Structures are given as structure tokens and as C-alpha cells.
Amino acid sequence: MTTPLASHLLITTGPESCGKTTLATALGQALGAPVVAEVAREFLDARFHAEGHYRYSEGDLLTIAREQLAREQAALASNPAVLVCDTDLLVLLVWSEVRFGRVAPALQSLFAESLVQGRRTYLLCDHRIPWIADPQREHPHQRPQLFDRYRQELDARDLDYAFSSGTEEQRLQQALMLLQPAGCPCCRD
């Protein structure tokens, strides 16, 4: 599928329970922009509901990645000016490294494919908000280290990103500023 490169993707990322979904939802509402939900949450919720205590596998991550990318591509097909993504495949790369100690080549390839889908700006969400437990969250005490790992991945891959911190309203305003020409990494000289 060929997707035009006119869209600007704003992607929330970061460790567990750092406000990614809250920020993505608020951005979508503020901008009237489509939001691509986090497929991993839907996938695991369905498995937990059907099977009780479900343990995901490396193969599950690839299944999730394919569906996440397909949903992103479907949303981009209408060529929105801005597309908000509640995470993307970067989360799955980090998740795979943390959980399985490696990233499958197929997952790396899907991530590379996703990077050409449009102009991307990542919103790295600060972990310094209260932890909210749920069955899918695994690392309540490792959020600072995971935050650093996300920052290192973004830097190592030379991806455009901005930090998102403070209250929900402050985070939203920070993200909206990225769409102004002076704040947009894509519009800078």
C-alpha cells in the first residue's frame, strides 16, 4: 500500500503508566484528528478475558505489530493533516528487548517500514505521574530506567521527539505547540 507522506504523525511513547493514552486521546479531541489506538492493549485484553492469566509470546508481538501498522496505514489512507498514534512499533521493540532480551528481525523490518509512513514526531511521556496498576503492566519500579531506554532508542535512531511532562493540560499544550511552525521539528531549518 502506498501512503502519501503529507500527514504528520504525533506518537505517544514511553514506559508503562506514563499517560500515553490520556495524551493521545486529548490530542485527537483537541485537533479533531483520527487516533490509532494501542493494539497491544486490545489484543491482551481479549486474551485475558478469554483465558484468564495470559502470558504473551514473541510471536504475539509480531501479530500485534502487523495489526498496529495496518491500522496506522488505514488511518493514513485518508491523508489526514495530523494522525495521532497511541504508541507505535517502537514500544514493541523496547517491550521485546525487555521481555525477551532481543528483537526479532521481522519486527525490526516492520518498524523500518512504519518509519516511511509520514512525518513522525514522538511525544516521550514523563514517568513521574502516579502508577496505575492493571494486569498488563509489569514494571512499576523500573519506569525511570525504561524512560531512559526509550530516550536512548529515539536518539540512536535519530527520530524527532519532544518530552511531555507536567499535568494533563500542560502535556496537551506542549504537544499542540509542536504543530506550530516554530515548534515542529519537521518545519525547522
Q: Which residues pair with 12 in a beta bridge?
A: 86, 123
- In-domain check, residue 37: yes
pLDDT mean over 132-139? 67
- In-domain check, residue 183: no
Confidence of residue 56 (pLDDT cuts 50, 70, 90): confident
- Sign, CA torsion 46/114/88/100: positive
Task: For residue 19, give the nearest of 163, 121, 176, 178 by alpha carbon.
Answer: 163
Confidence of residue 51 (pLDDT cuts 50, 70, 90): confident
- C-beta of residue 91 within 8 angstroms of C-beta of residue 18: no
The string of pLDDT tens digits covering residues 69-114 is 999 999 999 999 999 999 999 999 999 999 999 999 999 999 999 9
pTM: 0.85
- Residues 6 or more apart in contact with residue 32 via CB below 8 angstroms: none
Angle of CA points 144, 35, 140, to nearest 5°: 20
- In-domain check, residue 1: no
Residue numbers of the domain that contains 55: 8-177
- 52 or 74, higher pLDDT: 74
pLDDT mean over 180-188? 52
Query: pLDDT at position 129, please?
Result: 79
- In-domain check, residue 16: yes
CATH number of 169's domain? 3.40.50.300
Please say if the pLDDT value at position 149 is more than 50: yes
Number of structural domains found in the chain: 1
Instruction: Out of 54-63, 79-88, 138-147, pick the least confident.
Output: 138-147
Query: pLDDT at position 171, please?
Result: 95
- In-domain check, residue 172: yes
Q: Which residues pair with 40 in a beta bridge?
A: none
- In-domain check, residue 48: yes
- Grid look-up 525490526 returns 108
How large is the greatest C-alpha to C-alpha distance in the chain, in angstroms?
52
Q: DSSP per residue over the chain, as a string?
A: ----S--EEEEEE-STTSSHHHHHHHHHHHHT--EE--HHHHHHHHHHHHHSS----HHHHHHHHHHHHHHHHHHHTT--SEEEEE--HHHHHHHHHHHHSS--HHHHHHHHHHTTSSEEEEEEE-S-S-----TT---TT-HHHHHHHHHHHHHHTT--EEEE-SSHHHHHHHHHHTTSTTT-TTT--
- C-beta of residue 165 within 8 angstroms of C-beta of residue 128: yes
Query: pLDDT at position 160, please?
Result: 96
pLDDT mean over 125-138? 75
- In-domain check, residue 185: no
Mean per-residue pLDDT over the chain, rounded: 87
Instruction: Out of 44-53, 99-108, 139-148, pick the least confident.
Output: 44-53
Query: pLDDT at position 137, please?
Result: 62
- Which amino acid belongs to residue 134? D
Q: Please give the span between the terminal C-alpha atoms of the chain, in angstroms, as a whole number.
A: 31
Query: pLDDT at position 2, please?
Result: 43
- In-domain check, residue 189: no
